[in-house]
Amino acid sequence: MNQLDLKSEKNEQILRGKRIKYIRENELHMNKTQLAKEIGISSQFLGLVEEGRGNLVYRSIKKLRDISGYSADYILFGIDDHVIDKTQRLLESYTNEEIEKAIDIIKDITIFIKK
């Protein structure tokens, strides 16, 4: 693995730790000890994970996913699939014809912006 890959991987680990800390503090309203107990690790190790100096194993990620409602994609990679869910719920109130018209309008806007 080259230096760029290592740097990128370390950066991802730091961002992942920040997401986990955000979920713990702002969504679950738990302290480190509480969440660590729920996902089966020590609070010290959770602190390392949140600082970007450790990684959760599959079992712990799965438990965090189940407790928080966030997907593993979000926890691991920051992919916010809540946007997809929200969009699907929103689109349920429209007909296919209305959605196709909206897509055509969006295409026209992107062409206009690119000019």
- pLDDT tens digits for range 35-94: 999 999 999 999 999 999 999 999 999 999 999 989 999 999 998 877 777 888 888 999
pTM of the model: 0.71
**pLDDT tens digits, 28-49:** 999 999 999 999 999 999 999 9
**DSSP calls for 39-94:** HTS-HHHHHHHHTTS----HHHHHHHHHHH---HHHHHH---THHHHHHHHHHTTS
